[in-house]
Structure 1
Amino acid sequence: MTAASLNGQQTRRQSAMAVLVHAATAEIAGHLVAIDIPAHQALREPENGLVMLRGRIGGDGALFNLGEATVSRAAVRLSSGEVGFGYTLGRDHEKAGLIALCDALIQNEVFADAMEKQVLAPLRAHIADDRRRQAAETAATKVDFYTLVRGEG
């Protein structure tokens, strides 16, 4: 593979992960039904772990450990050899496994287009709708504060 194709594949995988982590487990599973999923095996069964969350003082100052967060992770290999990894916040083993499967399918040229059209595009649209709805609800509660300047004479 050339550097450009590796970079394109990495970008495609990052874009897919950004969608999948924000989608509900049932939504991912529901959209995957439309795809004829090939044989695959779990390289790493879904498991829970912890990651350290780090912050910066004042947003750009010295690093400090904020605390730990629970994550679930999994790894899957397709029969064609592609390996997918899935991570998600919380203890959702099923979602971690589905994300890993989707990651592997995205890397397979046969399934990449189907994944984009039948899984990722509908999930992106749903997430965008949720964000617009949430923004509208938030905007409805906005309070505009203003100051009147009194004249001295």
Structure 2
Amino acid sequence: MDSSGRNSKQAERKAAMAVLAHSAAAAIAGHLADVAVPAHENLREPENGLVMLRGRIGGDGAPFNLGEATVSRAAVRLATGEVGFGYTLGRDAEKARMIALCDALVQSADCAGEVEAKVIAPLRAAMIAKRDRKAEETAATRVDFYTMVRGEG
């Protein structure tokens, strides 16, 4: 595979993982139930841990440790050899496992189209609809201030 094809696959995988990370576990499970999931094994059982969050004051300030956040992670390998990794904020081990499974399926030539159509696309549409609805609600409360210049007498 040439580098442009590899970059395209990486971009698709990155976009899919962004959608899955921002989706609810119940929504992922509901859509994943519509997919014929091939045989797979857990390479890393879902587990919870902590990551250090780093911050900066201003755009160019020195980094500092802001605090810790809980995360869940998992790794899954399909019978055909594709390996998927799943990470999510919080202590939802099952969501991390489903994300890892979807990551592996997105890499599979046999399953990528089905997963995109039945899982990723509906979740992306729901995410966009929610974002648009919030934008409309915010726009409804917007107040435009302007200055009117009055002429003297």
Compute the TM-score of the two structures, normalised by the length of structure 2.
0.91
1:47 is the counterpart of 2:52: no
Q: In structure 2, do the counterparts of structure 1 residues 143 and 43 end up closer, same or farther at CA, with 3 Å as the change threshold?
A: same
Q: Determine helix, strand or coil for the equivalent of 1:131.
A: helix
What residue number does 1:111 align with?
Answer: 111
Distance 2:133 2:123 in 1: 15
Q: 1:151 to 1:49 in 2, by over 3 A?
A: farther
- Residues 90-113 of structure 1: CA deviation (Å, up to 9, x unaligned): 111111000000000000000011
**Residue matched to 1:26:** 26
SS in 1 for 2:71: strand
- Alpha-carbon distance between aligned partners in 2 of 1:33 and 1:76, rounded to the nearest angstrom: 17
Aligned residues: 153
In structure 2, the CA distance between the partners of 1:65 and 1:149, relative to structure 1 (3 Å rule), is farther
Residue segments in structure 2 that go unaligned for 5+ positions in a row: none
5+ unaligned residues in a row in structure 1: which ranges? none
Q: Which residue of structure 2 aligns with residue 60 of structure 1? A: 60
Where 2:66 maps in the other structure, the secondary structure is: strand
Q: Equivalent residue for 1:94?
A: 94
Q: Which 4+ runs in 1 deviate beyond 3 A?
A: 143-153
- Mapping 1:3-14, distance limit 5 Å: 3-14=3-14
Paired AA for residue 119 in structure 2: V
Match of 1:7, SS state, is helix
CA drift of 1:78 comes to 0.4
Compute the RMSD of aligned alpha carbons.
Answer: 1.7
Bigger shift: residues 1-10 or 14-23: 1-10
Structure 2 letter corresponding to 1:4: S
1:60 partner SS:
coil
Query: Corresponding residue for 1:38?
Result: 38
Quote the Cα distance in structure 1 between the aligned partners of 2:14 and 2:139.
30
CA distance in 1, matches of 2:107, 2:124: 19
Q: Match of 1:125?
A: 125
1:54: how far off? 1.3
Shift of 1:148: 5.7
- Change in CA separation of 1:79 and 1:67 when aligned onto 2, cut-off 3 Å: same
Q: How far apart, CA to CA, are the structure 1 residues paired with 2:65 and 2:145?
A: 36
Distance 1:67 1:147, change over 3 A: farther
Seq. identity, %: 68
TM-score by length of 1: 0.91
